[in-house]
Chains A and B, each alone.
Chain A
Amino acid sequence: MTTIATDKALVAHLLRRAGFGATFQEIDKFAEMGYEETVDYLLHPERVPDIDEDLLERYYIDWKESRNIEGALVETVYRFNARAGVRPMQEKIALFWHHVFATGLAKVLHEKTLLNQIDMFRDYGLGSYRDLLVHLAKDPAMIFWLDNNVNHKGAINENWGRELLELFSMGIGMDGKDNYTENDVQEVARAFTGWTMDDDNTASIPFGKTPWLFKFDADDHDYGEKTVLGETGNFTGEDVIDIIAKQPSTARFICRHLYNFFVADEVQVPSWRDTAPLDPEAIRIMEDAYFESNYDIRSILKVVFNSEFFKNARFQKVKSPAEVVCGTMHIVGSYKFPDQRFFEEALECRYMNQDLLNPPSVEGWHTGKEWIDSGSLVERINYVADELSDTTKPGVRAMVDNLLSRQSEFTPEGLIEGCLELLGYFELKDKTRSDLIELVYRAGEIRTDNPEDRMFAEQLMLRTLKMIGATREYQFA
């Protein structure tokens, strides 16, 4: 590729990871802005005007109030898609923390409360990890999900304390050693007694559901002395989070999560105690950024996105279903304005094995190749192929018009290269490429200088987009 093409390919890579992909117009715009400037732009969504909430409320009256899991899922996907072109990182970081701090409606059964948790990730997900943990500990959906509302002084429930250490911060172990003891779990649980929730209105009748709120019950809090990770004192929940945040194991665990989500597929989380990171040097660089920035997620990601290990990790990740659906929606330009048909399409994530807001367990979803099974692969291919070949979609129309207006005659190779470029500088393996060339070659001459030929070229281009969407390579980001 030329230098310009390389720059655009890198920007496309960045936008797939720090967002949900990009249209060819966006790739051009950000390539002109410059790579490092684009990183800054993406990491500061608060500087960009937000989407129009009034439209969401006007048309999705029922979903806004979210009285069921489908409504909540649809609202979440709507925001992913709507912000994909303006504040993609805000949505991507919300999706990331939803993976890490997986909380599910199967138990919570209060959609608006869980949606408030996702909003909290949007608001604080790029800031201090320490502060984020405090917000998480006060999040009523999490409190209910992990039973901290029944964690009482003198009668602890250790569920939240255990998962805080095991899944949300330190991980069970590092470099083959355990990170904490059973006593730490119980002492952490004591520190969070009294951190509960106000659930005065769970029923829809007579007033409609209202979100739960955090409540600190001082009478139920254990103010006694505790020993946590080798430190002793009359610790509160926030004191414990301060102790947790400064642990090297926390830096390792969070950086591995960030690496797994934004850079390249790692082994699954339960293996991290005994399996070294895929790229130990990258993790070391990220850990340094964690401590140097006082646990600031935005600073770590800035280091990541500007690193060579990130730039060299193109197509090293299997797309999650949310990335497949929202990324495709964004490229084809679907549903930038509310539409009833959006409801069914948003559920595609579920059909591809990612039921947003309803993860399989507190451990969240297994990622990488575990996203793929025969059923989900068929869903992915059918969905993407249908979308990419639908010229009623403005993004598809724009791609067709852009490529076919460039010249009056195309070789099969040229048509395929043009399609790959417009889709975000995708790359095909040699065998896939030669198979595609053969298929396009069989169709005959590709010309655009009279209406009949152009119509033929358009149909051929749509078939080509469809075939690219069905390739193994397209499943990677």
Chain B
Amino acid sequence: MTLQTIGNPPSVKGHYEYHSVIGALAGSGPGFSGPVSLDFGPDGNLYVASRGNPNQHEAVRVTRCTKDGEYLGQMPGWGEGEGEFIWITDIAFNAEGKLFATEEHTHRINVYDPTDFSFLYTFGEHGSGEGQLDRPSGIAFDSCNNVLVVDSLNNRVQQYSVDGKFLGQWGEFGDGEGQFNMPWDIFIDGDDNVFVTDWRNDRVQKLTRDGQVLMVFGGSGDGEGQFNRPTGIATDADGDIYVCDWMNDRVQVFDAQAKYKDTLIGHGGVSKWAQDYLDANPEIEHKLKLAEQNIEPKRRFYRPVSVKVDTDNKVYVADCYRHRVQIYQKV
């Protein structure tokens, strides 16, 4: 049946093939609820943060699964107390394998041991002074294991030691080089190049880890190389740059010199978790078969928000409004 057997359709320029999909909407257990961030853990598994639903607190969580979609567990934690989160925004693992999560509601960073999801410590407080945060979003680590956090409403990036001691900051509001307008995500490659999605300036800035601008690319629009509110960003081993072009519902790929290379549009099929649901609800599957001509648009990305590339050159994209992770293979 077409619903399941979609094959491996290529990306727009053919440098990638659709591989598979993980996920389905679920407020708890196997599934996601508005996935906003993903990362690979030290155990080789995939971790996905769900922003959830304010009326369904347990849906706000971090889910752990294998990279081929075997559900392994979850870390719930809705609340304002220590180690809890309400508006979880980004997750990342540092070199020691600790799980860091940014929390926009309480303006702080929570740190966990991913083996049992136990809470370790937290840092950050609301404000605009040194070390204070106003809606922290993206988080990443440099080669010295220092933490770089996108302090989105303060339009800057702040650096901390791994235990949360303030080390420095760079950036300010504006649209010039080194300035930001509500930046979203941050990614640091193996050479300590820092990539920041400058959300409301519709561009990406590549900087040194102390904030010197190396390259700026993008611009507002929906053409090749243009963005409508870029969110997640990552690079791969070849230096190719992946940008979630959020409101254009696509992921754009650039080479290391920021030359446009390809576009992923989403080809989501039915995941294992979704198939389990359909097997238990055959009337839904029957309706989907009847409406097969309308399914194609629903395979597409709907607000892709986070991207990472693993060592096998598989590209994982958190497809937020469709509650799934779509996976492409670089060819």
- B299 → chain A closest CB, angstroms: 8
List CB contacts (< 8 Å) of A178-230 with chain B. Answer: 198, 200-208, 210
* CB-defined contacts of A74 to chain B, threshold 8 Å: 54
- The answer to whether B277 touches A62, judged by C-beta atoms less than 8 angstroms apart, is no
A299 to B287, CA, bound (A): 46
B294's partner among A200, A203, A208, A343 (CB-CB below 8 A) is: A200
- B136 → chain A closest CB, angstroms: 13
A340's partner among B105, B268, B323 (CB-CB below 8 A) is: B105
* CB-defined contacts of A202 to chain B, threshold 8 Å: 287
- The answer to whether A203 touches B281, judged by C-beta atoms less than 8 angstroms apart, is yes
Indicate if A386 sits at the interface (CB-CB under 8 A).
Answer: no
- A114 → chain B closest CB, angstroms: 16
List CB contacts (< 8 Å) of B187-246 with chain A. Answer: 199-200, 229
List CB contacts (< 8 Å) of B37-84 with chain A. Answer: 51-56
- The answer to whether B303 touches A57, judged by C-beta atoms less than 8 angstroms apart, is yes
Interface locus among A63-71, A124-132, A371-379: A63-71
List CB contacts (< 8 Å) of A337-390 with chain B. Answer: 340, 343
Indicate if A61 sits at the interface (CB-CB under 8 A).
Answer: yes
- The answer to whether A65 touches B229, judged by C-beta atoms less than 8 angstroms apart, is no
A393 to B262, CA, bound (A): 48
* CB-defined contacts of B34 to chain A, threshold 8 Å: 61-62, 65
* CB-defined contacts of B258 to chain A, threshold 8 Å: none
Q: Which of A63, A201, A202 has the most CB of B within 10 A?
A: A201
Contact A205 B278, CB 8 Å, known A54-B247, A68-B55, A200-B287: yes
Contact A206 B54, CB 8 Å, known A54-B247, A200-B294: no
A29 to B43, CA, bound (A): 61
- The answer to whether A208 touches B322, judged by C-beta atoms less than 8 angstroms apart, is yes
- The answer to whether A71 touches B55, judged by C-beta atoms less than 8 angstroms apart, is yes
- The answer to whether B247 touches A200, judged by C-beta atoms less than 8 angstroms apart, is no
A203 to B184, CA, bound (A): 31
Contact A208 B53, CB 8 Å, known A54-B229, A198-B294: no
* CB-defined contacts of A58 to chain B, threshold 8 Å: 182, 184, 199, 229
Indicate if B290 sits at the interface (CB-CB under 8 A).
Answer: yes
- The answer to whether A65 touches B321, judged by C-beta atoms less than 8 angstroms apart, is yes
> Per-residue CB proximity of B18-44 to A under 8 Å, as 1/0?
000000110000000110100000000
- B292 → chain A closest CB, angstroms: 9
- The answer to whether B52 touches A62, judged by C-beta atoms less than 8 angstroms apart, is yes
In chain B, what residue has the closest Cβ to A74?
B54
Indicate if A309 sits at the interface (CB-CB under 8 A).
Answer: no
Indicate if A59 sits at the interface (CB-CB under 8 A).
Answer: yes
Indicate if B256 sits at the interface (CB-CB under 8 A).
Answer: no
- The answer to whether A62 touches B200, judged by C-beta atoms less than 8 angstroms apart, is no
* CB-defined contacts of A71 to chain B, threshold 8 Å: 53-55
B291's partner among A67, A200, A343 (CB-CB below 8 A) is: A200
A206's partner among B36, B274, B303, B321 (CB-CB below 8 A) is: B274
* CB-defined contacts of B248 to chain A, threshold 8 Å: none
- The answer to whether A207 touches B268, judged by C-beta atoms less than 8 angstroms apart, is yes
Count residues of chain B with CB under 8 A from any CB of chain A.
45
- B12 → chain A closest CB, angstroms: 21
Contact A206 B290, CB 8 Å, known A62-B53, A71-B55: no
In chain B, what residue has the closest Cβ to A203?
B284
A200 to B271, CA, bound (A): 19
Q: Which of A57, A64, A71, A208 has the most CB of B within 10 A?
A: A208
- B50 → chain A closest CB, angstroms: 9
Q: Which of A64, A68, A74, A203 has the most CB of B within 10 A?
A: A203
* CB-defined contacts of A65 to chain B, threshold 8 Å: 34, 321
- A62 → chain B closest CB, angstroms: 5
Q: Which of A58, A200, A201, A210 has the most CB of B within 10 A?
A: A58
- The answer to whether B51 touches A62, judged by C-beta atoms less than 8 angstroms apart, is yes
- A198 → chain B closest CB, angstroms: 7
Contact A206 B53, CB 8 Å, known A65-B34, A200-B290: no
- B317 → chain A closest CB, angstroms: 15
* CB-defined contacts of A204 to chain B, threshold 8 Å: 25, 323
List CB contacts (< 8 Å) of B276-331 with chain A. Answer: 277-278, 281, 284, 287-288, 290-291, 294-295, 297-299, 302-303, 320-323
Indicate if B270 sits at the interface (CB-CB under 8 A).
Answer: yes
* CB-defined contacts of B229 to chain A, threshold 8 Å: 54, 58
- The answer to whether B87 touches A205, judged by C-beta atoms less than 8 angstroms apart, is no
- The answer to whether B24 touches A61, judged by C-beta atoms less than 8 angstroms apart, is no
A447 to B188, CA, bound (A): 58
- A301 → chain B closest CB, angstroms: 34
- The answer to whether B295 touches A207, judged by C-beta atoms less than 8 angstroms apart, is yes
- The answer to whether A343 touches B298, judged by C-beta atoms less than 8 angstroms apart, is no
- The answer to whether B277 touches A205, judged by C-beta atoms less than 8 angstroms apart, is yes
Contact A208 B25, CB 8 Å, known A54-B200, A57-B303, A200-B287: yes
In chain B, what residue has the closest Cβ to A68?
B55
Contact A206 B277, CB 8 Å, known A200-B290, A200-B294, A201-B288: yes
A292 to B199, CA, bound (A): 49
- The answer to whether A61 touches B36, judged by C-beta atoms less than 8 angstroms apart, is yes
- B306 → chain A closest CB, angstroms: 12
A71 to B321, CA, bound (A): 14
* CB-defined contacts of B321 to chain A, threshold 8 Å: 61, 64-65, 208
- A300 → chain B closest CB, angstroms: 37
In chain B, what residue has the closest Cβ to A206?
B274
Indicate if B86 sits at the interface (CB-CB under 8 A).
Answer: yes
- The answer to whether B291 touches A340, judged by C-beta atoms less than 8 angstroms apart, is no
A210's partner among B33, B86, B298, B320 (CB-CB below 8 A) is: B298
- The answer to whether B53 touches A67, judged by C-beta atoms less than 8 angstroms apart, is yes
Contact A208 B323, CB 8 Å, known A57-B303, A62-B53, A200-B294: yes
Show 9 residue pairs from A and B whose CB-CB distance is below 8 angstroms, ordered by the A residue.
A61-B321, A62-B33, A200-B288, A200-B291, A201-B288, A205-B24, A205-B277, A206-B270, A207-B295
Residues of chain A whose beta carbon lies under 8 Å from any beta carbon of chain B:
54, 57-59, 61-65, 67-68, 70-71, 74, 198, 200-208, 210, 340, 343
18 additional contacts, CB 8 Å, given A205-B25, A340-B86? A58-B182, A58-B184, A58-B229, A59-B104, A61-B51, A64-B321, A68-B56, A198-B291, A200-B290, A200-B291, A206-B288, A207-B268, A207-B295, A207-B322, A208-B322, A340-B54, A343-B54, A343-B55
Closest 5 A/B residue pairs (Cβ): A200-B291, A206-B274, A207-B298, A204-B25, A70-B55
